[in-house]
Amino acid sequence: MKKMFVIQKKNIVVGLLVLLLIVTGYLNFIFNQNATPAVNPKDPVSSSDKNDKNADETAPGGKITVSDVDDTEEPGNQDQIQESGEASVSSLSTFFRDYRFEREQERSKEVMHINSIVDNPNSDGDMIKEAQAQLLELTTNMEAELVIENLIKAKGVRDAIVIIHRDNVNVIVDKTELVPEEVAMILDIVKRETDKDTKNIKIIPKI
């Protein structure tokens, strides 16, 4: 008896599911009929003819001609020019960023080497004194390089890298060419911050 009740219950559930599918299909059919736009078979003008007619009416001289299209600028060319300029700027920015990173890495190695000499108990007094002098010169140059770079950028140059080594100073600027006024400005900054002679200062535009 219990088994028969379970079977009947399953049959009822199946019947309800079938009924629900039938109702859903019917509602879907009705919805599709209402959503389909009505077409009047007596209308002699097709949709393509209407579009052609509207195009003729909107333009005073008729449809758009090939010459009208040729007179307009192609946006693709402008995008290519813009992308080329952005890539060039990005390449320069990458150069200055990578150079600074490599310079910092090399300076860190130099400082570690000098400190190893100073901290080595086997180093004599002269070696320690010389190492300390090298460390002082290195830190002084690093500070001067940073100051000069910031001063040059403050004058309107996009970026600059300064390398001070002994008596020579190299300045790499983010410009393809420099006018005489810019060269004089950079020389004045470098001479004021390092006391180097003009003949020992080299300014290099980044091409």
Lateral strand order in the sheet of 201-205 = 160-165, 168-173, 201-205
Its sign, for the CA torsion 191, 197, 199, 200, is negative
pLDDT digits (tens, 9 = 90+) for 24-74: 655 555 555 554 444 444 444 444 444 444 444 444 444 434 344 344 445
Q: Are strands 168-173 and 201-205 parallel, antiparallel or unpaired?
A: parallel
Residue 94 vs residue 171, higher pLDDT: 171
Can you tell me the distance from the alpha carbon of 149 to that of 167, in angstroms, rounded to the nearest whole number?
18
**In the chain, what are the domains?**
90-205 (1.10.287.4300)
- Identify the residue whose tokens are 């079938």: 18
- CA-CA distance, 49 to 45, in Å (whole number)? 6
Q: Tens of pLDDT along 99-136?
A: 999 999 999 999 999 999 999 999 999 999 999 999 99
Which residues, at least 6 apart from 152, have a Cβ–Cβ distance to it below 8 Å? 160, 162, 171, 173, 186, 189
- 72-92 per-position pLDDT tens digit: 445 555 555 555 444 445 555
Say how many residues make up the chain. 207
- The predicted model scores a pTM of 0.55
pLDDT of residue 30: 57
